[in-house]
Amino acid sequence: MDMCGIVGILGTSKASSELYNGLFAIQHRGQNGAGMYVADGKNTQLEKDKGLIDEVFDQKKLDDLTGKWGLGHVRYPTIGSNIEQDAQPFKIEEPIEMGMVHNGNIVNYKELIDEYDLNLESNCDLELILHVFAEELKKEEEIDSDALFSAAERTMESLNGSYSVITLIPEMGMFVFRDPRGIRPFVFGKRMNLDGTSLALASENTVLDILGYKVLRDVTPGEAMLIKEDRSYQSRQIKNVLPKHCMFEWVYFARTDSTMERINVYEARFRLGRELAKRWRKNEHKLDVVVPVPDTARTYALALAEELDIPYREGLMRNRYVGRTFIMPDETSRETAVKTKLNPIIEEVKGKKVGLVDDSIVRGTTSKKLVNLMKKSGAEEVHFLVGCPPIISPCYYGIDIPTKEELKASKKSVEEIRKDIGADSLTYQTIEGLVTGIAKDKDELCLACLNENYPTKVREDIREYFKEMRKESREKVKEQSKLS
């Protein structure tokens, strides 16, 4: 069950080098595992392991992966264990050989294992999707394009959750489908080469930009598409419901230079900064300087400073070799990471009333440390401004938001959080400000971690199961880090 990044290439030259560069562009979506599945005619190869993309693949491995078609994946486990066998892609031989990758999270994972009577080798929900799809395909008399679409329709009826799926079927082409609500992003692009046309699919359009592809469009929520060897493609709108795109992709998760559903992330974050300025104006405090918590909040802070006509300063320097603290999988490594990650520029904050801007508050541990860091550096006052409204509930669709018990805003008022983190004031974005900033119809956004209106049914026993799994996986990661 993963927060991930996916790439699929139907190219004219070696897919592995394009996959490597593409996955590198979305390494922020997952740092715990990487893999590729490539096809050269009917010959296929699968290579995957724990680690960053450049740890899993060296030049020799890339050279050995021949084939013009391929799938790639970077993984961050939100729930489930952080072990080698959970890394994607997965492949299956029956009823036809195919490899698969996905980005998202399946809510009814346990139910489907029972319903389809599956014996899986891993805890990864992609293995489940692959088996459900294969089982549905087995019900077809002949495996042709119609069979793929029919099996995808029944698979989509069975799956509850978020999924952007790429399947490579060496004998038929690339078959993709996206959950009816389009919770996770998914784009499709084309490149004309001297030797023909290449097509690519990815979690974020930056992958396509970097590889020289022109983005054709987003894969539509509820759509399935078959791309054939001759690069022609067939598409079917299998489900048609109101989309619920994850707001957190724009707030924090996606690259600042990405564009999803035709909304650029940088532009959205800039508007969110302006909306935050409107909230700030409602209090009586004064600021001398606006300081972002790098990197995501830079855009928010820039817009806020511009809107309030207050100087923008870099008051915290980030060690770029330390991973994102929010998505580090266990408490010990997260605490250590905060200390090693951000260092204050004392000259920019000493004796000043600082407006410290961050994208979100999750557990509040990092916010408290940052306020403390600013005060120790001589800031006269520290006012904390947050680009995302209070996060009060977990995510069941693939973002690693902790349990309700661990979420600062689930139990405490804004004033209590302010006191806890030691700030002189605390200003949150509102849900209305968030929707205006993203510039998408409110009904087309998932806001469930802010208002508990989950876009799919999440039963109480499933919530409990997720809670237990999350605890278990954190314990496992702790145990593993002790052993390594």
Min CB(183)–ligand SF4 separation in Å: 5
399 binds ligand SF4 (CB under 6 A): yes
Q: Minimum Å distance from CB 177 to ligand SF4?
A: 18
β-strands 2-10, 196-202 pairing: antiparallel
Q: How far is the CB of 326 from ligand SF4 (least distance, A)?
A: 12
428 binds ligand SF4 (CB under 6 A): no
Kindly determine how many residues on this chain lie close enough to bind ligand SF4 according to the rule CB under 6 A.
Answer: 12
Identify which of residues 184 and 298 has a Cβ nearer to ligand SF4 in the complex: 184
d(CA 86, CA 279) in angstroms, rounded, equals: 43
Residue 163: CB minimum distance to ligand SF4, A: 12
268 binds ligand SF4 (CB under 6 A): no
Q: Let me know: does 254 contact 185? Beta carbons within 8 Å.
A: yes
Of 151-159, 369-377, 391-399, 460-468: span binding ligand SF4 (CB under 6 A): 391-399
The SS3 call for residue 282 is coil
CA distance 380 to 135: 64
449 has catalytic annotation: no
Nearer Cβ to ligand SF4 (242/346): 242
Task: Name residue 354's beta-bridge partners.
Answer: 289, 382
> Contact letters (x/-) for ligand SF4, 444-473, by CB under 6 A?
--xxxx------------------------
- β-pairing, 425-428 with 381-386? parallel
Q: In sequence order, what DSSP letters do the residues of 421-443 get, joined into one string?
A: HT-SEEEEPPHHHHHHHHTS-GG
Q: What is the DSSP string of 382-414?
A: EEEEESSPPP-S--SSS-----GGG-HHHH--H
Taking the least distance from each CB to ligand SF4, the nearer of 247 and 371 is 247
Q: What is the rounded (10 degree) CA torsion for 285, 289, 294, 298?
A: 90
Tell me, rounded to whole angstroms, the distance of Cα 328 from its chain centroid.
14
Sheet of strand 425-428, all strands in order from the earlier edge strand to the far edge: 289-292, 353-358, 381-386, 425-428
Residues between 136 and 195 that touch ligand SF4 (CB under 6 A): 183
* Residue number, 208 or 401, with CB nearest to ligand SF4: 401
Instruction: Identify which range of 134-142, 168-176, 198-206, 440-448 contacts ligand SF4 by CB under 6 A.
Output: 440-448
d(CA 106, CA 132): 12
The yes or no reply on residue 4 touching ligand SF4 (CB under 6 A) is: no
By beta-carbon proximity to ligand SF4, the closer residue of 297 and 447 is 447
Q: Does 247 bind ligand SF4 (CB under 6 A)?
A: yes
CB 377 within 8 A of CB 290: no
76 interacts with ligand SF4 by CB under 6 A: no
- The binder of ligand SF4 chosen from 248, 300, 326, 428 (CB under 6 A): 248
Residue 104: CB minimum distance to ligand SF4, A: 9
Q: Which of 4, 124, 388, 446 is catalytic?
A: 4
- 18 neighbors 211 (Cβ within 8 angstroms): yes
1 scored as a contact of ligand SF4 (CB under 6 A): no
Nearer to ligand SF4, 19 or 449 (CB): 449
Compute the least distance from the CB of residue 28 to ligand SF4, in Å.
15
Q: Under a CB-based contact definition with an 8 Å cutoff, are residues 72 and 35 in contact?
A: yes
Please name which of 392, 386, 393 lies closest in space to residue 418, comparing C-alpha atoms: 386
Q: Which is nearer to ligand SF4, 26 or 450 (CB)?
A: 450
Piece of the chain touching ligand SF4 by CB under 6 A; list 5-13, 208-216, 242-250, 301-309: 242-250
- Determine the residue type at 309: D
Q: Which of 246, 265, 327, 338 binds ligand SF4 (CB under 6 A)?
A: 246
Distance CA 269, CA 124 (A): 32
Q: Which tokens go with 297?
A: 């909040």
Please check whether residue 392 is in contact with residue 449, taking contact to mean a CB–CB distance below 8 angstroms.
yes
Give residues in contact with ligand SF4 (CB under 6 A). Answer: 183, 246-248, 395, 397, 399, 401, 446-449
Q: Which residues are catalytic?
A: 4
